[in-house]
């Protein structure tokens, strides 16, 4: 027990502090920018926010979850339309680590007579069985998500909210594995971003594109066909909810909810609590339901 506590403590010190220092250094150099408080800063909506092209900035939150517990680890992942299965169940710990890195850069500014910006984004989420000594602490799953984003700044009032932006993106997501645990899909996603005081709402429906004969043809019936991303800022605290749904009813009414709380500990060191329930926390788990809770540090909100 003492060895396990010592190892966990070392993990927290080794990963959290350097990552936080690294993120702070990048903030000071304006490479990834500060924690943006509004959509105008995050997406440079207006010439007063423009910082040039090919400057790397943050996209989705960057965080490190030191320990994440699952009520139902997926030890036998199976794609419903696949003829290939694992020879034996995976030996997984219910507790693992998780971290996410997400960056973007503007590649064209003021296209279409000044009405559109074109961005490239890249997000990567890792699920690390760091406490699984029997399997030499492997990475259970890595999800890669590159995308091309067309964004249109707008000014429009809707139900008391300011509609700040609309746009579309071509998104590829995969786990880089081979059969029988290969998972991938492509989407065209549409988005609309709203703000009101300390609230931000991003609505994002999408359409699955590509061949129907693949590793996970029915992924939209589990992960969903759209999401609502709602953020509320309370001082230095940030609350975020991400809800996805299949837009089906009855037995096929599936989806997920993820709740996040980022809170200050001292100076630029922020804690992060995450709760997830539903399908598709990872691509390999797209048709597997579980509830997870994790605690860690938030580097960039």
Average pLDDT, the chain: 88
Q: Is 136 annotated as ligand-binding? A: yes
Q: Is 40 annotated as ligand-binding? A: no
Q: What token pair was written down for 40? A: 């105008």
pLDDT category, 112, cuts 50, 70, 90?
very high
Verify whether residue 172 is a known catalytic residue: yes
Residue 15 reports pLDDT greater than 80: no
Residue 25 reports pLDDT greater than 80: no
Question: Per-residue pLDDT tens for 233-292?
Answer: 999 999 999 999 999 999 899 999 999 999 999 888 999 999 999 999 999 999 999 999
pLDDT at res. 67:
98
Overall average pLDDT of the 49-64 stretch: 95
Q: Higher-confidence residue: 96 or 17?
A: 96
Query: Using CA atoms, how far apart are residues 95 and 165, in angstroms rounded to an integer?
Result: 39
Question: Per-residue pLDDT tens for 178-222?
Answer: 888 889 999 999 999 999 999 999 999 999 998 665 668 899 999
pLDDT category, 28, cuts 50, 70, 90?
very low
Q: What is the CATH number of the domain that holds 71?
A: 2.40.230.10
- Active-site position among 174, 178, 184, 245: 174
Burial class (CB in 10 A: 0-12, 13-18, 19+), 236: exposed
Question: Per-residue pLDDT tens for 83-94?
Answer: 667 767 788 999
Residue 2 reports pLDDT greater than 80: no
Residue 29 reports pLDDT greater than 50: no
Query: Using CA atoms, how far apart are residues 272 and 237, in angstroms rounded to an integer?
Result: 10
Verify whether residue 174 is a known catalytic residue: yes
Q: Higher-confidence residue: 37 or 139?
A: 139
Overall number of domains in the chain: 1
What percent of the chain shows pLDDT beyond 90?
71
- Active-site position among 172, 178, 184, 298: 172
Overall average pLDDT of the 71-100 stretch: 85
Question: Per-residue pLDDT tens for 128-138?
Answer: 999 999 999 99
Q: Which domain holds residue 256?
A: 2-300
Q: What token pair was written down for 164? A: 């700040």
pLDDT at res. 301:
79
Angle in degrees, CA 98, 286, 299, rounded to 5: 25
Most confident of 19-28, 32-41, 126-135, 176-185: 126-135
Question: Per-residue pLDDT tens for 292-301?
Answer: 999 999 999 7
Question: pTM score, two decimals?
Answer: 0.88
Q: What is the 3-state secondary structure (H, E, C) of the chain?
A: CHHHHHHHHHHHHHHHHHHHHHHHHHHHCCCCCCCCCCHHHHHCCCHHHCCCCCCEEECCCEEEEEEEEECCCCCCCCCCCCCCCCCCCCCCCCEEEEEEEEEEEEEEEEHHHHCEEEEEEEEEEEEECCCCHHHCCCEEEEEEEEEEEEEEEEEEEECCEEEEEEEEEEEEEECCCCCCCCCEEEEEEEEEEEEECCEEEEEEEEEEECCCCCCCCCHHHCCCCEEEEEEEEECCEEEEEEEEECCCCHHHCCEEEEEEEEEEEECCEEEEEEEEEEECCCCCCCCCEEEEEEEEEEEEC
Q: Is 16 annotated as ligand-binding? A: no
Burial class (CB in 10 A: 0-12, 13-18, 19+), 292: buried
Q: How far is CA 286 from the centre of its chain?
A: 15
Whether cis (ω within 30° of 0) applies to the bond prior to 180 is: yes
- Residues in the chain, total: 301
pLDDT at res. 179:
80
């Amino acid at each position: 027990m003492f060895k396990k506590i010592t190892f966990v403590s070392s993990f927290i010190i080794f990963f959290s502090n350097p990552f936080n220092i690294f993120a702070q250094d990048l903030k000071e150099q304006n490479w990834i920018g500060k924690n943006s408080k509004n959509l105008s800063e995050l997406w440079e909506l207006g010439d007063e926010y423009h910082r040039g092209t090919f400057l790397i900035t943050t996209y989705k939150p960057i965080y490190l979850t030191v320990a994440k517990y699952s009520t139902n680890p997926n030890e036998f992942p199976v794609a419903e339309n696949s003829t290939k299965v694992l020879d034996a169940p995976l030996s997984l710990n219910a507790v693992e680590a998780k971290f996410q890195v997400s960056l973007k850069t503007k590649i064209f500014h003021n296209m279409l007579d000044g009405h559109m910006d074109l961005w490239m984004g890249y997000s990567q989420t890792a699920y690390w069985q760091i406490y699984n000594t029997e399997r030499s602490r492997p990475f259970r799953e890595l999800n890669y998500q590159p995308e091309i984003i067309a964004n249109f700044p707008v000014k429009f009032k809707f139900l008391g909210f300011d509609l700040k932006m609309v746009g579309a993106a071509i998104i590829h997501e995969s786990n880089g594995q081979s059969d029988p645990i290969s998972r991938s899909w492509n989407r065209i996603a549409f988005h609309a971003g709203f703000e009101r005081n300390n609230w931000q709402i991003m609505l994002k429906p999408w359409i699955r594109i590509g061949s129907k004969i693949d590793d996970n043809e029915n992924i939209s019936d589990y992960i969903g066909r759209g999401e609502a991303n709602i953020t509320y800022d309370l001082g230095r605290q940030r609350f975020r909810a991400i809800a996805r749904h299949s837009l089906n009813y009855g037995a096929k009414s599936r989806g997920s909810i993820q709740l996040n709380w980022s809170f200050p500990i001292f100076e630029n060191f922020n804690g992060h609590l995450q709760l997830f329930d539903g399908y598709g926390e990872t691509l390999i788990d797209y048709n597997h339901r579980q509830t997870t809770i994790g605690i860690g540090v938030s580097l960039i909100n």
